[in-house]
Structure 1
């Protein structure tokens, strides 16, 4: 196990590598945190919006899919209490997903189906193998993609404008794209897990998260909305307009969607957070479920969450996410083979499509959190992510 910290001389490269992306106009600003051993460094560069207030350490960002590992941890809390079981059907809590039909093939019309070979389990949802999710084909060509879009369920950057029950009702009208346990499909499993947590716990998702994870970990700025008193700390979010070839508002902090409670607390993408809040969550995972003197999750639970859960056949078609050196645990990716300076076996975490990245490396005892407010243009991580992780790993001091 690594014993050292971070080289101060080499850490000086971090600021320059990140500042380049702000100075070029790629984004208004960013906040980055790197932690190893007793060493923690934070860089706050640029502004919360173009021409806006300076970026600060406690600036709040929409973290998009970085919500997924939080939801996985919350689900596993209920598994530990035997209120959920990994391989039990979820039918009792999610009757909308009972007695599933499955497309005969991806090319099939949505009424060309066969019966599911077995029910959907909690494990299927945690590992994204329950049979529904994003099909990475643009423009959409499969009938199931078009049917999901017509119902407002196509995975995308915008948060849902329907409540959880209506989300499940609409989802239940669609067949599965493949048999439960057969194939990894991105995203939708986390949104369904959020509903499962609420129904199994008897509490709204936001309440359960607050009481069982966020408050115990001191994550004061993490939630599904930003209170009025904190709005001045919310960064605006931008996306590239392909026609104008310039950055435009995705969500202006001055009139943010995240300033009010959402109709649907999306377990796959809905949270806001800060670098220090997310550092606390990942530090708990790095410490095998402990936070100070308090145990949040059991060590075996954390080890399960951060272990490779997929077979080679389940990953077929997901190369755009995993390449040939990673897989999926529960709520995040797991590196399985070193293919880069920062791609160390056992490294766990995930990125957020609104421009965020957070991973931990158990072997190196390293945590990195990068928050930007520029939406990703593709599933391939942008250069600012790669420069951040390269700079973090090259600063390891032993």
Structure 2
């Protein structure tokens, strides 16, 4: 069975059962490319999902935005050891909770200590700046709870929630760190900080920097923070996982992603298509070179970004983190091999590149996961793509 038939056979039954209502996928394996789409926009809208349908890609945003930071490393605008306070003065002179579980106190001398050192660019890219979701500690913890109280996004992606980047950074700078810089991998918040860092270092808004350095060179014309005007009629609703009954919409057609946000979120804010993300994946697979031969990233910085740098970040002990990418440190039961890199999005998206097997695999869906663990269609997709 060829690649096209194998992946189709694996994922089509899930869409037929509305698990999720609609999905699109693209797999590149060596010189072979297979692409498909199944299902519809949802139970109340029979519009068929197509390969050019835009999806809310949530945390698959992270490696795409990280690529803009890697480009700034390439040209020397950023260096990994540089203290970020040069561009983010809100993060200067940090204090750190004595106990990550808190409590926070109006008098910082009571429950905090000075940071051992400044936060660096590497800390932000590695998600070790001392802020974020701690999956093995207090959840969400007093610091993120305090930020939510200041009006910053908490919970699932919601692009219209956050204020503008400067206001957002002032809020982040008003709370202590949960851990010392470099001490612990904490999810997500560092990617939000990274977006502000990229914009300030480059001297332009994040959407402009991302377009100039990543999207435009790769022809990713359907990727952005919120749908572009020409996409407006193609973005369907996004659904919550079923809870014993009918599906409930998490985001309607005219919802959070229907217009540009005040805060372009480098952690979860992008809309994209399987073709655009496959172009991004092909560039990575080719060592930083686009299909037209243009160099987007150097081989050296890409190799540094896609190697294990942090330590095991999940319970199976086979995953690590690089500079904006998850990295597999052991062969997966689904076929993804050691050295594969990419990331998943809890709203139902995945992008992985396997240099050894010469595979780029993208699956986008219109339904949120019910837990941090991928749903059945993702396991079936990975097995078929890597079979």
Q: TM-score, normalised by structure 2?
A: 0.93
Corresponding residue for residue 379 of structure 1: 372
Corresponding residue for residue 231 of structure 2: 230
Cα distance in 1 between the residues matched to 2:371 and 2:102? 27
Q: Do structure 1's residue 330 and structure 2's residue 331 form an aligned pair?
A: no
Query: How far off is 1:114 after superposition?
Result: 0.6
Corresponding residue for residue 91 of structure 1: 85
Corresponding residue for residue 186 of structure 1: 187
Secondary structure of 2:247's counterpart equals strand
Cα distance in 2 between the residues matched to 1:58 and 1:93? 37
Given that 1:135 and 1:145 are in contact with CA atoms closer than 8 Å, whether structure 2 keeps it comes out as: no
Secondary structure of 2:224's counterpart equals coil
Corresponding residue for residue 355 of structure 1: 348
Q: Do structure 1's residue 72 and structure 2's residue 51 form an aligned pair?
A: no
Task: Work out which of the residue numbers 9, 13, 18 in structure 1 matches 2:6.
Answer: 13
Taking only aligned residues, the RMSD between alpha carbons, in angstroms, comes to 1.8
Within-5 A mapping of 1:271-282: 271-282=270-281
Query: How far off is 1:331 after superposition?
Result: 1.3
Q: Do structure 1's residue 100 and structure 2's residue 99 form an aligned pair?
A: no
Given that 1:155 and 1:187 are in contact with CA atoms closer than 8 Å, whether structure 2 keeps it comes out as: no
Corresponding residue for residue 319 of structure 1: 314
Within-5 A mapping of 1:212-291: 212-240=213-241, 242=243, 245-253=245-253, 255-291=254-290
Given that 2:132 and 2:144 are in contact with CA atoms closer than 8 Å, whether structure 1 keeps it comes out as: no
Q: Do structure 1's residue 52 and structure 2's residue 51 form an aligned pair?
A: no
Distance of aligned partners of 1:295 and 1:347 in 2 relative to their CA distance in 1, 3 Å threshold: same
Distance of aligned partners of 1:155 and 1:94 in 2 relative to their CA distance in 1, 3 Å threshold: farther
Cα distance in 2 between the residues matched to 1:105 and 1:378? 27
Corresponding residue for residue 305 of structure 2: 305
Query: How far off is 1:149 after superposition?
Result: 2.6
Secondary structure of 1:78's counterpart equals helix
Q: Do structure 1's residue 158 and structure 2's residue 158 form an aligned pair?
A: yes
Within-5 A mapping of 1:17-28: 17-28=10-21
Cα distance in 1 between the residues matched to 2:163 and 2:46? 32
Cα distance in 2 between the residues matched to 1:28 and 1:71? 28
Cα distance in 2 between the residues matched to 1:269 and 1:96? 22
Corresponding residue for residue 369 of structure 1: 362
* Residues 143-152 or 69-78, more deviating: 143-152
Cα distance in 1 between the residues matched to 2:265 and 2:57? 12
Query: How far off is 1:138 after superposition?
Result: 10
Q: 1:281-336: per-residue Cα shift (whole Å, max 9, x none)?
A: 1100100011132111111111111110114xxx4xx435xx21110111121111
Query: How far off is 1:133 after superposition?
Result: 0.4
Secondary structure of 2:327's counterpart equals strand
Query: How far off is 1:155 after superposition?
Result: 4.5
Distance of aligned partners of 1:140 and 1:338 in 2 relative to their CA distance in 1, 3 Å threshold: closer
Within-5 A mapping of 1:121-160: 121-136=120-135, 140=139, 142-153=141-152, 154-159=154-159, 160=161
Cα distance in 2 between the residues matched to 1:363 and 1:32? 21
Given that 2:73 and 2:301 are in contact with CA atoms closer than 8 Å, whether structure 1 keeps it comes out as: no
Cα distance in 2 between the residues matched to 1:285 and 1:13? 25
Q: Do structure 1's residue 205 and structure 2's residue 200 form an aligned pair?
A: no
Secondary structure of 1:296's counterpart equals coil
Given that 1:353 and 1:375 are in contact with CA atoms closer than 8 Å, whether structure 2 keeps it comes out as: yes
Structure 1 unaligned residues grouped into runs of 5+? 1-6
Cα distance in 1 between the residues matched to 2:239 and 2:327? 29
